[in-house]
Amino acid sequence: MKRRQFMAMTAAAVAAGVAGACAPLTSTRRTVAAAAMPATGVTAFAAARRYAELAFGRIAYVERGSGEAALFLHGAPLNGYQWRGAIDRLSPYRRCLAPDFMGLGYSQVSEHQSLAADAQAEMLASLLDSLAIGAVDLVASDSGGAVAQLFLVRYPERVRSLLLTNCDVEPDSPPAKVKPIVEMARAGTLDDMTAQWLTDKALARSTFGAAVFRDPAGFADETIEYYIAPLLSTPLRRAQYNAFHAAFEPNPLAGIEAELKRSTVPLRVVWGAADDIFAQSDAEYLDRVFPNSRGIRRVPGAKLFFPEEFPEVIAEEARRLWKV
């Protein structure tokens, strides 16, 4: 989900804590191979994109690796490309699957399809069924974290582990800085605001980029295009982009805490310490609510979408959680 008043909506991210370091992992031949792998760019990622024809629509996803599956859930207005760096490093250990949510990215659904978080969770179950995948390790960020929690309570037997970065939690969904975005979406104007990023990439970096990245200069033109262009490609896609955000009010996580407290799934929280969209207390809430929490790692200087800038942190924490 995205924030504040477009510039100010989108220029907001600075707090969540200090640091929590983790011991380095033992080196292996596969670790060296993953580290040496060149970063996947837009062209290669787009070429790898596949589609699953589901009752929900034509769902876009990228898949790499083999063995037990890991499911990566992106934030808004992003798509599965958010996880490219983590997948580069983790595909030697897991069958990595990065779908695009309905209403975002390159997934294509009808105008009557619900884009609410619970419908997204149901879509993910259908996607896994279509790929003959039973259980997964879930890795999620931002609004994807809300969907991950809903998926967990609906399909507890399908989740082996859960790694959450800065994301919605029941007491803070949507966060205060997201509510103006929800209001714009309901007014049908969020797409017009976002369209400015395509014509003015410098604006995209100085507003949205500055809000969610430690170094917005690294928010490349081709990345902006890959994230934003599909959202504005047709009148239907524009309407669905608005509808995706509008669906985050009322709180999609209302009443979920009691079920999370009964979960036995191991959780690791990895939190950007310079994000002021999702508060430091949200990380502490997750750590407290999940009985099998493995604690919090705070990433100094990191903002909301730090998995793009620090994919090695995600990979390190995922491997520790997965014990590989």
pLDDT at residue 17 tops 70: no
For 124-142, what is the mean pLDDT? 98
Residue 1 pLDDT class (50, 70, 90 cuts) = very low
In sequence order, which residues have a C-beta less than 8 Å from that of residue 8 and are 6 or more positions away? none
For 160-180, what is the mean pLDDT? 97
- The two structure tokens encoding residue 127: 């996607």
For 186-213, what is the mean pLDDT? 97
> Which helix (H) or strand (E) element contains residue 141?
strand 136-142
For 265-269, what is the mean pLDDT? 98
pLDDT at residue 51 tops 90: yes
pLDDT at residue 73 tops 50: yes
Question: How big is the CA angle at 236 (ends 234 and 241), to the nearest 5 degrees?
Answer: 95
For 247-251, what is the mean pLDDT? 96
Helices (H), 67-116: 84-90
Residue 38 is predicted with a pLDDT of 61
Helices (H), the chain: 29-36, 42-48, 84-90, 117-130, 143-154, 179-187, 190-199, 201-204, 210-212, 221-228, 235-246, 257-261, 280-289, 306-309, 311-322
